Chain A
Amino acid sequence: MEKPEQGVALSRSFEKVNAILEKHGYNPSNLIGILQEIQEEYRYLPEEILTYVATALRVSPAYVYGVATFYAQFSLKPKGKHIIRVCDGTACHVKGSEKVLKAIREYLGLRDGEQTTGDLLFTVETVACIGACALAPVIAVDNRVYGPMDEEKVRHVLEALERGDEVS
Chain B
Amino acid sequence: MKFTTRKELEEYTALLRERENPKRILVCMGTGCLAKGAEAVYEKFVEVLGAKSLSASVVFEKEEKSSFPLCPTGCMGICETGPRVRIEPQGIQYLRVRPDDVEEIVERTVEKGEVVYRLVQQEATNGQVRYWPLMRDDPFYRKQIRLVLRNCGSINPENLDEYLARDGYLALAKVLTEMTPDDVIGEIMKSGLRGRGGGGFPTGRKWQLARMVRANQKYVVCNGDEGDPGAFMNRCLMEGDPHSVIEGLAIAGYAIGASEGYIYVRAEYPLAVKRLRKAIQDAYAAGLLGENIFGSGFSFNVHIKEGAGAFVCGEETALIASIEGKRGMPNPRPPYPAQKGLWGKPTVINNVETLANVPIIILKGAEWFRSFGTTTSPGTKTFALTGKVKNTGLVEVPMGITLRELIFEVGGGIQGDKRFKAVQIGGPSGGCLPEAYLDLPVDYDSLCGAGAIMGSGGLVVLDEDTCIVEVARFFMSFTQSESCGKCVPCREGTKHMLSILQKIVDGRATLEDLELLEETALVVKDASLCGLGKTAPNPVLTTLRYFRDEYIDHVVHKVCPARVCQAMREFWIDPDKCRTCGKCARVCPVACISGRPKVPYVIDQTKCIKCGSCFEACPFDAIVVRWRRKDNE
**Shortest beta-carbon distance, B341 to chain A, in Å?**
14
| Nearest A-chain residue to B477, judged by Cβ | A88
B79 proximity list for chain A (CB < 8 A): 132, 134-135
Q: What CA separation (Å) do A71 and B614 show in the bound complex?
A: 41
Query: Scoring A residues 24 to 46 as 1 if CB is less than 8 Å from chain B, else 0, what string do you get?
Result: 00011111110110000000000
Kindly state whether residue A90 has any CB partner on chain B within 8 Å: yes
232-282 of chain B: CB within 8 A of chain A:
232, 235, 267-270
B227 proximity list for chain A (CB < 8 A): 128-129
Q: What CA separation (Å) do A93 and B167 show in the bound complex?
A: 41
A67 proximity list for chain B (CB < 8 A): 325-327
Kindly state whether residue B442 has any CB partner on chain A within 8 Å: no
Among A33, A131, A144, point to the contact of B235 (Cβ < 8 A).
A131
**Shortest beta-carbon distance, B224 to chain A, in Å?**
11
B393 proximity list for chain A (CB < 8 A): 134
Contact call B37/A70, Cβ cutoff below 8 A: no
Q: What CA separation (Å) do A35 and B308 show in the bound complex?
A: 10
Contact call B328/A134, Cβ cutoff below 8 A: no
A129 proximity list for chain B (CB < 8 A): 227-232, 268
**Shortest beta-carbon distance, B332 to chain A, in Å?**
19
Question: Mind listing 9 A-B residue pairs with CB under 8 Å?
Answer: A29-B323, A33-B305, A35-B308, A36-B267, A90-B424, A93-B474, A128-B482, A132-B31, A132-B32
A127 proximity list for chain B (CB < 8 A): 268, 309
109-150 of chain A: CB within 8 A of chain B:
127-136, 138, 143-147
Chain B residues with CB under 8 Å of chain A are: 31-32, 34-37, 40, 78-80, 226-232, 235, 267-270, 305-311, 322-329, 384, 386-388, 392-394, 424, 427, 458, 460, 462, 466, 471, 474-475, 478, 482, 484
Contact call A33/B474, Cβ cutoff below 8 A: no
Kindly state whether residue A66 has any CB partner on chain B within 8 Å: yes
**Shortest beta-carbon distance, A119 to chain B, in Å?**
26
A32 proximity list for chain B (CB < 8 A): 305-308, 322, 325
| Nearest B-chain residue to A67, judged by Cβ | B327
Given contact pairs A128-B478, A147-B35, A70 touches B327 in the complex (Cβ within 8 A): yes
Among A94, A131, A144: residue with most chain B CB under 10 A: A131
B311 proximity list for chain A (CB < 8 A): 128
| Nearest B-chain residue to A35, judged by Cβ | B308
Known: A32-B322, A89-B230, A134-B384. 4 other contacts (CB 8 A): A66-B327, A93-B474, A128-B478, A135-B79
Contact call B474/A90, Cβ cutoff below 8 A: yes
Contact call B386/A133, Cβ cutoff below 8 A: yes
**Shortest beta-carbon distance, A114 to chain B, in Å?**
19
Q: What CA separation (Å) do A90 and B431 show in the bound complex?
A: 13
Kindly state whether residue A168 has any CB partner on chain B within 8 Å: yes
**Shortest beta-carbon distance, B478 to chain A, in Å?**
6
B310 proximity list for chain A (CB < 8 A): 70-72
Q: What CA separation (Å) do A92 and B235 show in the bound complex?
A: 17
Contact call A30/B387, Cβ cutoff below 8 A: no
Q: What CA separation (Å) do A110 and B496 show in the bound complex?
A: 30
A92 proximity list for chain B (CB < 8 A): 229
Q: What CA separation (Å) do A94 and B386 show in the bound complex?
A: 10
**Shortest beta-carbon distance, B586 to chain A, in Å?**
22
Among B36, B308, B326, B386, point to the contact of A91 (Cβ < 8 A).
B386
Q: What CA separation (Å) do A35 and B325 show in the bound complex?
A: 10
6 smallest A-B Cβ distances: which pairs? A89-B229, A134-B79, A72-B309, A71-B308, A90-B230, A131-B232
Among A33, A66, A94, A145, point to the contact of B471 (Cβ < 8 A).
A94
Among B229, B392, B484, point to the contact of A88 (Cβ < 8 A).
B229
Kindly state whether residue A52 has any CB partner on chain B within 8 Å: no
| Nearest A-chain residue to B35, judged by Cβ | A145
Q: What CA separation (Å) do A140 and B308 show in the bound complex?
A: 16
Q: What CA separation (Å) do A130 and B471 show in the bound complex?
A: 19
Contact call B78/A134, Cβ cutoff below 8 A: yes
Contact call A130/B78, Cβ cutoff below 8 A: no
